[in-house]
Amino acid sequence: MRGTELLVFVRGETSWGVERAEVRRFGVTGGGITISLRHDRLRADRVVAMLSTPTVRKPGRILRRFWPVSSRGLAVVEGQVVVVIDPLAPPPELALQTEGASDE
């Protein structure tokens, strides 16, 4: 994945990225940011940057072994590792809470 615009955001202590072409709109929900994608909605604590030409490395065997989250790979942005998500299979950590659910 090279030359694709990437939206970088933070949720918890992890930096995440998603292809810009998947992003439809932003909103504010319960003290966080909602990122609406083509097929899903994600929760973020803050949006960090929009990168125009990131280099994303596919996850290797060792990463897949210890990181169970499906991803398109990793990028490094200003010294921080960014997990680039598969927008069709976002990790549970990014899911919006349903009404009545509490943060743990």
Structure confidence by residue, pLDDT tens digits, 27-64: 998 878 999 999 999 999 999 999 887 888 887 787 77
CA distances from 52 to 13, 71, 86 (A): 23, 19, 18
CB 76 within 8 Å of CB 32: no
Q: Distance between CA 16 and CA 66 in Å, rounded?
A: 17
Averaged pLDDT, 61-77: 81
Mean pLDDT of 72-95: 88
Q: Tell me the CA distances in angstroms from 16 to 5, 75, 86, 92, 100, one per residue in order.
A: 13, 9, 11, 13, 26
Q: What is the DSSP letter of 95?
A: B
